[in-house]
Amino acid sequence: MAALFALGGAAAWGVGDFFGGLASRRLHVLTVLLLSQLAGLTGVLVWALVSGDSFPDTGEAAAAAGGGAAGLVGLAALYRGFAVGSMGIVAPISAASPLVPLAVDLARGTVPSALQWVGIAVVLAGIAVVSREPGAVHGRRVAAGAGLAVVAALGFGLFVVGLDAAAASSVPWTIVLARATSVSLALLAALVVGAPLGSPARFLPLVLAIGVFDTGANVLVAQATTVGSAGIVAVLSALYPLVTIALARIVLGERLRGAQRAGGAAALAGAALVAAG
């Protein structure tokens, strides 16, 4: 069940993030985040109220809030990366997020297996390849959006760690707390930088769809952490780039160089090795 929940979350994240990339090419990224996160909060709040679950204790609430803040940073970096670079490059790099829970497990005394160490090396090598592209002056330069993709990976990894620490007592309230935190921070950031708080009517369905898919993915991943290990859930849910890349290829006609395709495949394969370990 954990695998099914995590893979369902991956599919929902892949679609939602593709929509987020499209919206961020037309609207301010904070506007996209605020409206999509707010739309998702409404749905999960109703779910939490009818669930009858008890509210998490202070420690779990803090973990959920921290996960929500990290997830918002990850989404902001991902959407901005999609807006300035190729989705086929940014998405595979962000799939390195499972390295974060793995590092947390290591800090707690769980040493990665030999296969996981190989997976880590393959992930890092894949990122190095996919993030490089020919440059006009010095031979090679970092692909647009690659640095933002690394930030996204860190944010998503910490989001899963936060969910794992908080979701045992109540999945619905964990998602509500994480989403309420992200909405509050997005609103504060939008006010500080003067980003629009509303969207033109023609883009509103797209923005709302982002919230539906992203929230659905959060629910599925949070549920998965209650029945499986955080490391495995993180790896399976991180397969969302496959969906995003496929949509970018079909809808936008994105094409990558052979080396970049190989690097993206290596990053995802390395994540699978981490899970197999």
Task: Answer whether residue 112 shows pLDDT above 80.
Answer: no
Q: Please state the rounded mean pLDDT for residues 11-23.
A: 90
Q: Please state the rounded mean pLDDT for residues 139-155.
A: 81
Q: What is the pLDDT of residues 164-202, one digit of tens each?
A: 888 777 888 888 999 899 999 999 999 999 999 988 889
Mean confidence (pLDDT) of the chain: 83
Residues 6+ apart with CB under 8 A from 247: 14, 15, 18, 87
Task: Answer whether residue 275 shows pLDDT above 90.
Answer: no
Task: Answer whether residue 134 shows pLDDT above 60.
Answer: no
| pLDDT class of 234 with cuts at 50, 70, 90 | low
Q: pTM above 0.85?
A: no
The whole-angstrom separation of Cα 171 and Cα 149 is 28
Task: Answer whether residue 222 shows pLDDT above 80.
Answer: no
Show the tokens assigned to 103: 């590092």
Angle, alpha carbons 146-6-124 (nearest 5°):
30
Task: Answer whether residue 133 shows pLDDT above 80.
Answer: no
Specify the length of the chain in residues. Answer: 277
39 versus 234: which is more confidently predicted?
Answer: 39
CA dihedral 102, 103, 105, 110 (to 10 degrees): 100
| pLDDT class of 231 with cuts at 50, 70, 90 | low
Task: Answer whether residue 85 shows pLDDT above 60.
Answer: yes
pLDDT of residue 276: 64
Q: Please state the rounded mean pLDDT for residues 206-227.
A: 83
Q: What is the pLDDT of residues 21-69, one digit of tens each?
A: 899 989 999 999 999 989 888 888 888 888 888 888 888 899 999 999 9
CA dihedral 28, 31, 36, 38 (to 10 degrees): 170
